[in-house]
Structure 1
Amino acid sequence: MKYIVQKFGGTSLNTAELREQVAAKIIHAVKEGYHPVVVVSAMGRGGESYSTDSLLSLAYEVSREIPGRESDLLMSCGEVISGVVLAATIRGKGFPAVFLTGSQAGIITDDNFNDARIRRVDPQIILEHSRLGKIVVVAGFQGVTEKGEITTLGRGGSDTTAAALGVALEAVCVDIYTDVEGIMTADPGIVNNARLLETITYNEICQLAHEGVKVIHPRSVEIAMQKNIPLRVRSTSSDAPGTLVTNDSQVYKGAIDITRDRIVTGITQKTGITQLKINMPETNASAWQVRIFKGLALAGISVDFINASPEAVVFTVKDEMAQKAVEILENLGMQPVKRPGCVKVAAIGAGMTGVPGVMAGIVDALTRENVAVLQSADSYTTIWVLVQQEDMVKAISALHQQFLD
């Protein structure tokens, strides 16, 4: 049996008209000879009637202190509503369909409520229904512990469900349907000529997702990558093929030298960042550095973009954690210099590995636009630069023009 997993986000299921579009895509897969397993998120976003936030707000009216176990029970309801309604829509078109909760679908997790990790998938019930010719609709974002407690999978949980089922069923592919055409070379709201990427590697999309692209959750990519299950990011409202996420050999198939084919794949950004700088004393700088990072870790503050030297330590934190970080450092006897309103811009591409001159190109492009680089760092597939918020648009546009126009 040829399985295909199709995941639909909440904005794709929010109205009867949209659910008709979704049902048409599912039925088309059946007519193509596939056995679709459909993963759904809760309908809508924000304060809309059946969204997860709306369900939580009911409980928050009574108390903000909701135990993790109870909040997971409540949050899991949104996907149940969405799945039951979609299964009814499919049946209304003359195709047999059945809805399963995450528990019924065999999604077994640990007991970390609100952010559980999938331990294993037992797809037996899915397989039984599929053999009877039914389209199986599964609630995303949720699972069950070995002891039968309902759990939720945290941000991007429905993507994670889809990828895990794709691996368990050895699916032909996993289609992630969203309200965009696919993965773009940059945010089209910033770069007018940003292009749709036809293909991208698992590693590249993971890095893009970690650095700000919200189309797909990196955990789902990491799961699919374990068995080389192709992912496709597609639009619910069109028949465009979208972006294929697969391994390096498929993305660069037929290229003689991939470094000439595509050095940089995409430009992305993270906003809401504060830079902190602490000048080190002339003696025993290492001991001071230990005190800095231990103190922040004990306070639960995550640090990023770390540059440490005997002269100074520079790093970033989220804006909302900046004042707390400053207070901790001052209590440790340090005088941090705070620079709020920063943006972390990343140029990402598997093709840059081992290629000389990429950083030179970045600095050249930013210098032409008078964008000051506050910090920089690099890995095999990514170069990051920290810039001021007011320079963000210029920086992203300049890097896109340098490498992707």
Structure 2
Amino acid sequence: MKILVQKFGGTSLATPELRERVVHHIRTALDEGYHLVVVVSAMGRKGAPYATDTLLEWVRNNGDALPPRELDLLLHCGEIISASVLASLLRSKGIDSCVLTGGQAGIITNNDHTNAQIITVNPVRIRQELEKGRVPIVAGFQGRTTEGEITTLGRGGSDTTATALGVALGADMVDIFTDVNGIMTADPRIVEDAVALNTVTYTEMCNLAFQGAKVIHPRAVEIAMQTNVPIRVRSTLADSPGTLVTNQGEVNDRLITGITQVPGVTQIKVHAGEGQYDLQLKVFKAMAENGISIDFINVNPSGVAYTVFDEWADRAESLLRDLGFEAELNRNCAKVSAVGAGIAGVPGVMAKIVEALTDEDIQILQSADSHTTIWLLVRGEDMQRAVRALHRKFELHKIHYQ
């Protein structure tokens, strides 16, 4: 059975005109001979009646005291509404379809309400519907526990639903439809000449997603990578193939694939005094015990440096003060990342990065690297100039035009 999974995000379903484009893509896939599974997110973004953020706002404005289990009962409704509306539209156009919740589709999770992890997927019901010639429309972002409790999968959960179903069904491809024409070399709102890439590797896509590219959730990419199910990131408004995420096919020698950014972070430095060999343990244990996620970690004999999101900075500073440490805080910073599978072992990449930022009088506050990514911490007001400078330095506007 030739199976394709299509996932449509909230922006793709937000208006009648966009929903007609969704129908167009579904009909095109059926005409190409695919047995089709559709995954949907809640319609629209914050402010839209049934968007996830709108539902959360209802809770915040009405006591803000809903336990995680009950919160999941509320939040999973947005996707069911989307699926039902789309099913009605498809049936009016002669396309037989049915709606399945995540649990009915066979997505079994752990008990971690509002951020559940998928344990297994048993897509028996989906296969039954496909054999009847129907298009199953699965409510994304949700599953159920072995006890039958409804759970949600956290941010990016609909992407995760789509790739998990793709893996379980042995799908030929998973198409992620969004409001941009594939994976871009940079945020086009910052870099006017950013271009869409034809292909990226799973590893590159994971790093781009983790470092700020919001087109697809990294957890979804990691699931697809387990069995090499290809992903295409496509625009709902276009018929172009978008960007293929795979480990097979095209080979390229580009150093850098894309530049990403994460604003709103605070750098924290804690200096060790004479004989304070347990400073690192005390600092990181205090952050962990108080639920503060840390990033960009640097440990050396003279102390530690790390980052937290700006909203956690005051709390982190207070905890450090309670431990007797005077921390140095650089607020309103941004993490800029250069991602590329070709940088491993290549001399001169960091030199080009430093040259690009030095030419723009941008100070690098901290840096780190892996075999596919170089991270830079800069001041928030320098973020956009840094992204543009790196994009220009590595001539990313010249690669892989669609």
Match runs of 1:252-271 below 5 Å: 252=251, 258=252, 261-271=253-263
Displacement after TM superposition at 1:135 (Å): 1.0
Indicate the residue corresponding to 1:165 in structure 2: 165
Q: 1:382 aligns with which of 364, 367, 373?
A: 373
Indicate the residue corresponding to 1:367 in structure 2: 358
Deviations 1:341-378 (A, max 9, x none): 11110000001111111111111111111111110100
Indicate the residue corresponding to 2:400 in structure 1: none
Q: Is the 8 A contact 1:110 1:119 kept in 2?
A: yes
Q: Is the 8 A contact 1:307 1:314 kept in 2?
A: yes
Paired residues in the alignment total 396
Can you give the 5+ residue segments of structure 1 that lack an aligned partner in the other structure? 253-257
Indicate the residue corresponding to 2:22 in structure 1: 22
Residue 271 of structure 2 corresponds to residue 279 of structure 1 = yes
Match runs of 1:219-298 below 5 Å: 219-247=219-247, 249-252=248-251, 258=252, 261-284=253-276, 286-298=277-289
Q: Is the 8 A contact 2:37 2:136 kept in 1?
A: yes
Give the distance between the partners of 2:315 and 2:155, measured in 1 at CA: 25
Displacement after TM superposition at 1:301 (Å): 1.3
Scaled by the length of structure 1, the TM-score of the pair is 0.96
Indicate the residue corresponding to 1:349 in structure 2: 340
Give the distance between the partners of 1:43 and 1:287, measured in 2 at CA: 50
Q: Is the 8 A contact 1:201 1:251 kept in 2?
A: no
Report SS of the residue matched to 1:85.
helix
Give the distance between the partners of 2:60 and 2:321, measured in 1 at CA: 35
Cα 1:57–1:304 change in 2 (3 A) is closer
Displacement after TM superposition at 1:63 (Å): 2.2
Report SS of the residue matched to 2:358.
helix
Residue 126 of structure 2 corresponds to residue 126 of structure 1 = yes
Displacement after TM superposition at 1:23 (Å): 0.9
Residue 383 of structure 2 corresponds to residue 392 of structure 1 = yes
Report SS of the residue matched to 1:240.
coil
Q: Is the 8 A contact 1:200 1:251 kept in 2?
A: no
Indicate the residue corresponding to 1:339 in structure 2: 330
Indicate the residue corresponding to 1:83 in structure 2: 83
Q: Is the 8 A contact 1:106 1:124 kept in 2?
A: yes
Report SS of the residue matched to 2:319.
helix
Displacement after TM superposition at 1:180 (Å): 0.8
Q: Is the 8 A contact 2:280 2:303 kept in 1?
A: no
Report SS of the residue matched to 1:250.
coil
Deviations 1:137-172 (A, max 9, x none): 110011111111111110000000000000011111
Indicate the residue corresponding to 1:180 in structure 2: 180
Give the distance between the partners of 1:57 and 1:351, measured in 2 at CA: 43
Give the distance between the partners of 2:370 and 2:69, measured in 1 at CA: 39
Q: Letter of the aligned partner of 1:208 in structure 2?
A: L
Q: Letter of the aligned partner of 1:250 in structure 2?
A: G
Q: Letter of the aligned partner of 1:331 in structure 2?
A: D
Q: Letter of the aligned partner of 1:231 in structure 2?
A: I
Question: Identity of aligned pairs, percent?
Answer: 57
Displacement after TM superposition at 1:229 (Å): 0.3
Give the distance between the partners of 2:359 and 2:320, measured in 1 at CA: 37
Q: Letter of the aligned partner of 1:206 in structure 2?
A: C
Displacement after TM superposition at 1:220 (Å): 0.4
Indicate the residue corresponding to 1:141 in structure 2: 141
Displacement after TM superposition at 1:393 (Å): 1.7
Indicate the residue corresponding to 1:7 in structure 2: 7
Report SS of the residue matched to 1:184.
coil
Give the distance between the partners of 1:290 and 1:126, measured in 2 at CA: 49
Give the distance between the partners of 1:383 and 1:396, measured in 2 at CA: 13
Deviations 1:188-233 (A, max 9, x none): 1111111111100101010011001111000000000111000000
Give the distance between the partners of 1:363 and 1:236, measured in 2 at CA: 38
Give the distance between the partners of 1:288 and 1:166, measured in 2 at CA: 46
CA root-mean-square deviation: 1.1
Q: Is the 8 A contact 2:279 2:303 kept in 1?
A: no
Give the distance between the partners of 2:135 and 2:335, measured in 1 at CA: 43
Displacement after TM superposition at 1:320 (Å): 0.5
Indicate the residue corresponding to 2:95 in structure 1: 95
Give the distance between the partners of 2:98 and 2:381, measured in 1 at CA: 51
Report SS of the residue matched to 1:276.
strand
Q: Letter of the aligned partner of 2:292 in structure 1?
A: I
Displacement after TM superposition at 1:287 (Å): 1.1
Residue 309 of structure 2 corresponds to residue 309 of structure 1 = no
Scaled by the length of structure 2, the TM-score of the pair is 0.96
Q: Letter of the aligned partner of 2:257 in structure 1?
A: T
Q: Is the 8 A contact 2:256 2:341 kept in 1?
A: yes
Report SS of the residue matched to 2:371.
coil
Indicate the residue corresponding to 1:255 in structure 2: none
Give the distance between the partners of 1:69 and 1:290, measured in 2 at CA: 34
Displacement after TM superposition at 1:308 (Å): 1.8
Cα 1:387–1:57 change in 2 (3 A) is closer
Can you give the 5+ residue segments of structure 2 that lack an aligned partner in the other structure? 398-402
Report SS of the residue matched to 1:350.
coil
Displacement after TM superposition at 1:104 (Å): 1.1
Give the distance between the partners of 2:350 and 2:62, measured in 1 at CA: 54
Q: Letter of the aligned partner of 2:318 in structure 1?
A: E
Report SS of the residue matched to 1:355.
coil
Give the distance between the partners of 2:318 and 2:69, measured in 1 at CA: 34
